[in-house]
Amino acid sequence: LPTPPARLPYVPHVPPMALLGKVTATTFALERPLCVFDGHADASDAVWLAVAFANASATFRNPRSRAEVPPYKQLPTARSYMTLETAAATYSCSAPSPPVLRVGGDTACRDQGRQDPCNGPLPSPGPYRVKFLLMGCSGPKAETRWSEPILLRRAVSPGTIDPAPTRRGSDVVVIASILASLGAVLATAVLGALGVKAWGSLCRQDLGTDAFTRRSYRTHHIPPVLPRPPPPGCGCSPPGLC
């Protein structure tokens, strides 16, 4: 009997960091299993990803050789397949590699009739469960645990979109614009009225109290006129006595 593969404690998972398109309607991202197979893999070994519907993962059976790997096109009937064949050295601790894998990213798989592994788009929201499997020339050597169920996003049918909210939103924008315009006109009128009133007050002040104050100010500071001395002889009477 073949030796059963080693059970590794690693659990595949969607990366926790913010990532554009981390889960879509047909794909999802997985964190790479770096350092997971060190000590178990040889240079000629490969790591595969097994993908199964969550309710079918318990019945999945590891293939005994590469020829028995379940292909992508059998997913609707077999409820599972294997993909992303990668040299084990790619996942070693010392190997530089991108931080994530994308499951379902090869759109060309839909039109290909080939038997080789394919990473095609997932046909439904799932949920799915995945595990990594290390395979050598004599069959499986090590495997990870199954992931938690991964549910994809559901695509919204265009026929179910209600256009009414869009119309209401447009009406609100129009009403808000009209109110803003009326508010601007009203503010301009109020400021104009206040300006006219202030200008009239200043004019009345300049023509009334202020003018009187300036005249009084000048009059108050003008010294009084002293009597001029009479010309010589003007005060003698009769003439010739002075």
| C-alpha to C-alpha distances, 209 to 99, 200, 201, nearest whole angstrom | 85, 14, 12
Class in CATH terms, 6-155: mainly beta
Query: What are the residue boundaries of the structural domains of the chain, listed by start?
Result: 6-155
0.75 cut: is pTM over it? no
Q: How far apart are CA 112 and CA 132, in angstroms?
A: 25
Q: How far apart are CA 135 and CA 63, in angstroms?
A: 9
Confidence at residue 117, expressed as pLDDT on a 0 to 100 scale: 82
Residue pair 31/10 in contact (Cβ under 8 Å)? The answer is: no
Strands (DSSP E) contained in 71-167 are: 80-87, 100-103, 128-136, 139-143
Instruction: Mark out the alpha helices in the chain (DSSP H runs).
Output: 75-78, 164-207, 209-220
98-138 per-position pLDDT tens digit: 789 999 999 887 665 555 689 999 999 999 999 999 999 88
**Residue 27 in this model has a pLDDT that exceeds 60:** yes
When pLDDT is cut at 50, 70 and 90, the band that residue 83 belongs to is: very high
